Amino acid sequence: MVLKAKVREYMTADVHYIPYDTKIEDAVKIFTESVHQNFPVVRDGNLVGFITAKQLLRNYQTPDKPIREIIKEKIIVAHPEMYLDDAARIIFRHGLKKLPVVDDNGKLVGIITNTDILRSHIERVTPRKVEMVKNLLESEHDVHIEVKTYPVPLENLRPTQKRIHADELEGRKYELKKGLTEPIIVVKKRNYFVLVDGHHRAIAALTLGINELMAHVLELDKDVDLGMERTARDGGLFRLSDIEVIDYAQHPLVEITTRLMRQGESA
């Protein structure tokens, strides 16, 4: 059975909010000192509405008025047990950037954003992907594989991907800091693990000083020389430090597009 990701796994639990009895002039100060364009409004821990910069601008002439009198009360919310895909449909169908997350009692427990949704879909490891790798290796090498899940040390990983992208690397760092990263996929050998999937996560962990990652470990009933492992050896890949990080701005297609634009301007 494929386990679906839930909102609670990707939401930000540390939510910045404004108390419902805050005066407009004080709310303006909060906005000017923040990068946010809107805030949830809370009373005794419960979500009662939303306040935007536009609403404050419309009411700046009444600075002593409490924001409870101008907030938007009818707002769309998510529940922490909601499937992430369902939250994504709500966000994109309504053109929203974020959804407040409330529990059964209406208490504000988090925020889920469209950025969280997008990041959740990059490098997502599903049981189907693990099963696909297992079946492929069993058919290619005539082996039986048992899949287990446990942490593996980064120093024992042998990469099979020569390059990763800097923008995706930043996304994996973000997830690791929030405790959201999913297991990598590795093949267990005698003294090391062949990294099949999760190179961005592994490098992100290494950069952040994390020593091990949870992994779906494919244990073979006999030792075989994997094709991906031979290719990695031929390419000089033995450690995570051998992986090259490519800045997206230096992507070949970006360079070509820029060059074509220059040619068009000079024509």
Residue 113 within any structural domain of the chain: yes
Task: Tell me the one-letter amino acid at 111.
Answer: I
Torsion sign, CA atoms 175, 179, 182, 187: positive
My answer on whether 90 and 146 are in the same domain is no
Question: Does this model's pTM top 0.85?
Answer: no
Query: Which CATH number covers residue 182?
Result: 3.90.1530.10
Domain count, the chain: 2
Torsion sign, CA atoms 85, 89, 95, 99: negative
Domain that holds residue 111: 7-120
Residue 261 within any structural domain of the chain: no
Query: Which CATH number covers residue 46?
Result: 3.10.580.10
My answer on whether 54 and 82 are in the same domain is yes
My answer on whether 107 and 159 are in the same domain is no
Residue 122: which pLDDT band, with cuts at 50, 70 and 90? Answer: low
The per-residue pLDDT for 121 is 60
pLDDT tens-digit readout, 202-218: 999 999 999 999 999 99
Residue 140 within any structural domain of the chain: yes
Rama region for 192: left / alpha / beta (φ>0; ψ in -120 to 50; rest): beta
My answer on whether 116 and 132 are in the same domain is no
Question: What are the backbone dihedrals phi and psi of residue 91, each rounded to the nearest 5 degrees, phi first?
Answer: -60, -50
My answer on whether 116 and 148 are in the same domain is no
My answer on whether 100 and 143 are in the same domain is no
My answer on whether 36 and 100 are in the same domain is yes
The per-residue pLDDT for 124 is 59
> Is residue 3 scored above 60 in pLDDT?
no
Which residue among 120, 155, 174 closes a domain? 120
Which range, 36-40, 68-72, 151-155, is most confident? Answer: 151-155
My answer on whether 133 and 112 are in the same domain is no
Task: Tell me the one-letter amino acid at 31.
Answer: F
